[in-house]
Structure 1
C-alpha cells in the first residue's frame, strides 16, 4: 500500500527553489560542456572519436545505474549527505579527467567517477528533497523551475567553457570546473537545512514500493519512454558540435548551437512544468517526443547553414529537458514522495541506458560509416515510438484508483 506523503518542512518556497536550482545549475552546467572537450582532447592524445565517446557513454550508463541507489540513500538518510559526497567525487573525477593520458584513464575518471557523482547531485536527489519541501499542487511547476535552472546552467557554462578552453586550454578548464563542483557542498547544506533525514520507519518498505511500481503498467511505460529522451539529447549534446565541424562550419557555430539549446530549454522546461499542472502530463510528453522527430527531420531536410543550425537549436532547446519535470511529477503523483528518489532514479536509469547508446553509437557508427546519418534516423524513429508509448499512461495516484475500484 502506498504511504501518505510526509509532512512538508516549513521553508519559504523561493528559498527552496533558489538553492535547488543553483545545485542543478552547477551540476548540469558542467556536464553539458563535455562535448566541447571531444575535439581538443582527442587531437592532443591521438584518440579515435570512439575513445572519448565511450568514456562519456560509460559516464551516462553509470550515472543511471547508480541513480536508484543514490535516490534510495537520499530517501533513507537525507539528501544532504548524498549531495556532499557527490560534490567531492565530481571534483575528483574532473581532476582525474584532466590528467588522464589513456583511454582507460579517461573511462575511469570521466566515465565511472563523474557518472557516479552525477547520480548524487542532479535531478533525482534534488527532487527527492524538494518532494518533502514543496506542496503537491505546486510540485510539477517547481520541478519545471529547477529543470529550467539546469538549462540555464548549460546556457551559461557553454560559452564560459569555450572561452576558458580558448584562453587556458582544455586542461586548465577542467581544473576550474573541478573547483566549481565543490560549490555543491554549501548549496546542498542550504537546501536541506531543517529537513529531517530519512523516512518514517512505519508502513511500506523500499522493497515493497519498488515491487508495487514495477507491477504498474504506467511506470513501465515511463521507463520505456525516458530511454528515448536519453538517446536523443546526449547524442546531440556530445556529437552535434563535431557534426557541424565535419560539415565545414567553425567551432563557434557548434558552441553557439549548444548555448541556444540551453537558453531555450530554460523556457521549455519552465513551460512544460506549467503545462503539466493544467493538462494531462502524458499528453504533453507525447507532444514533446513527436515534435522532436519533426524538428530533426526538418533540420536534416533543409539546406545546412548557420541560420538553420540556430533555428534547430532554439526549437530543440524548447523540447530538450522539458520531459524531466513532467516525468518526475508523474512518478510523485502516482506513488507519492516517500520513495521518490529511488523510483525517479529507476526511471532515470532507463534514460541513461539510452544516453549510453546514443553517445556511443554516435561515435561507433560514425567510425564505421563516416557519417551520422544512421543515428539521426534512429533518433527520429524513437521519437515517434515514445510519443505513442506515453499516451496510455494513467496519472491517477494508486490510492485514488483503489478508492475508485472500491466504489
Structure 2
C-alpha cells in the first residue's frame, strides 16, 4: 500500500529560484572577495604617502582577518534569525564606509579602525557564511555541494578579475579615489542581496526546532565539528602565509616582482577550477575524503616546490597547482556542516568554522614575519605548513557526514 503524503506546499516553504540564488550569491561573493584580494596593492602608495612603516599596514590587515573571523558567528546568527538580506545590507554599508574612511585615515589607529575593524566586520556579513546559509536552505540537498562550489568559484574569479582592475584604478585615479570608487562598488551588494530575500514559510512563521544555545552546545561538543574546525585552521594558516609571504620569498631568491604578481593571479584563476571541482565531486563521493586529499596534496606540492630548482616556470607551476587546492576546502567543509546539523543555523555554524580559519590565517601571516626576522629565512614556516597539511589530512578522515541523531520533536 503506497503511503500518502500531504502536498509539499502545505508544510514546506516556497523556495527561491536556484538561478536567482546562485547569480545573486555569486556576484556578492565576487565583489566582496574581489575587493579584499587587492588590498596588498595599496601597501606601497599608502605607506609612502603617510610616512608609515609596513608594520602599520600589515597589522591593520591582521586585525581585519581577526575581526572578520570574530564577527562571522554573530553575522551568521543574525542572518539565520532575521534573514540574510538585512545582514548583507548592513555589511554592504559597513564595507563602503570602511573603504572611504580607509582613504581618509591619516593616523595609524584610524587606519587600523577603518581597514581592520570596520572592513573585517563588513566582510563577515558579505561573504561565504551568509551566502551559504541561503544556498543551504533554498537549494535542494542533492545539488547543495555543487551550488556551494559555484559560489566559491565566483569568489575565486573575483580575485583573478578585481586585482588588475584595482591596479588600473590606482594608476589612473590615485589610491584615494580608487578606494572611494570601490566603496561605491560595495554598495551594489544591496540590490543583489534583494535577490536573496527568503520567503516566509507557508502558513506563517513556525517555532524554531532548536534554540541557538542548543545548536551551539550540540556542534561544539560534536567530535566531527571539532575536526572540521581543526582542518579549517590549517587551511587559513597555509593560504594566508603563502599569499602574503610568497612575494618576499621570491624576491629574496632574486625573482623579479612580476613573477610574484603573475603567480598570485594564477592562484586566483586556477582556484576557480578547484573550488568548482570540489563542490561537484562532493555530490558523488565522501567529502571527508576530498578534504583529506586536498590537505595532503598541499603538503606534497609545497615539498616539491621547495625541492625543485627555483625558476619562473617552477613558480608558475606551483601557483597553478596550489590554486586548484587554494579554497577548494570551502564547499565540502560547509556542505558537511549542513549535512550533519541541517540548515537552520548553517550561517552561524559556518561562521564558527570560519573563525578557526581566521585564527590560522593570523598565525600564518604573523609567524611568517616573526620567524623570518629571527632566522633570516622562511624555512621553518614552510616546514610547519607541510606538517599541518599532513595533520589536517588525518583529522578529516574520521569525520562522520551523517545527520546527527536528535530526539523526535513533540507534535504541535
**How high is the TM-score relative to the length of structure 1?**
0.92
Q: Does 1:154 align with 2:152?
A: no
2: CA distance, partners of 1:91 / 1:301: 44
How many aligned residue pairs are there? Answer: 397
Do the aligned partners of residues 43 and 311 (structure 1) sit closer, same or farther apart at CA in structure 2, a change above 3 Å counting? farther
2: CA distance, partners of 1:338 / 1:48: 45
Q: Does 1:107 align with 2:112?
A: yes
Do the aligned partners of residues 312 and 44 (structure 1) sit closer, same or farther apart at CA in structure 2, a change above 3 Å counting? farther
Q: Deviations over 1:296-345 (max 9, x none)?
A: 12222222222122111111110011000010000000000001011111
Structure 1: 5+ residue runs without aligned partners?
Answer: 1-5
Structure 2: 5+ residue runs without aligned partners?
Answer: 1-10
Do the aligned partners of residues 246 and 36 (structure 1) sit closer, same or farther apart at CA in structure 2, a change above 3 Å counting? farther
Note if contact 1:234-1:358 (Cα within 8 Å) is conserved in structure 2.
Answer: yes
Farther off after superposition, 191-200 or 147-156 = 191-200
Q: Does 1:211 align with 2:217?
A: yes
Q: Deviations over 1:122-150 (max 9, x none)?
A: 00000111122101111011000100000
Match of 1:372 among 354, 378, 401: 378
Deviation at 1:195, TM superposition (A): 5.9
Tell me which residue corresponds to 2:316.
310
Q: Does 1:121 align with 2:126?
A: yes
Equivalent runs, 1:7-406 vs 2, <5 Å: 7=12, 9-192=14-197, 194=199, 200-399=206-405
Do the aligned partners of residues 305 and 386 (structure 1) sit closer, same or farther apart at CA in structure 2, a change above 3 Å counting? same
Deviation at 1:236, TM superposition (A): 1.9
**How high is the TM-score relative to the length of structure 2?**
0.91
Do the aligned partners of residues 249 and 239 (structure 1) sit closer, same or farther apart at CA in structure 2, a change above 3 Å counting? same
Task: Give the match's secondary structure for 1:249.
Answer: coil
1: CA distance, partners of 2:206 / 2:147: 24
Tell me which residue corresponds to 1:3.
none
Note if contact 1:36-1:255 (Cα within 8 Å) is conserved in structure 2.
Answer: no
Note if contact 1:28-1:153 (Cα within 8 Å) is conserved in structure 2.
Answer: yes
2: CA distance, partners of 1:235 / 1:144: 23
2: CA distance, partners of 1:110 / 1:335: 34
The structure having more radius of gyration, on CA atoms, is 2
2: CA distance, partners of 1:185 / 1:402: 40
Deviation at 1:8, TM superposition (A): 5.0
Deviation at 1:196, TM superposition (A): 6.4
Farther off after superposition, 56-65 or 186-195 = 186-195
Deviation at 1:180, TM superposition (A): 1.3
2: CA distance, partners of 1:370 / 1:345: 36
1: CA distance, partners of 2:319 / 2:158: 16
Q: Deviations over 1:335-359 (max 9, x none)?
A: 0000101111111110011111112
Task: Give the match's secondary structure for 1:350.
Answer: helix
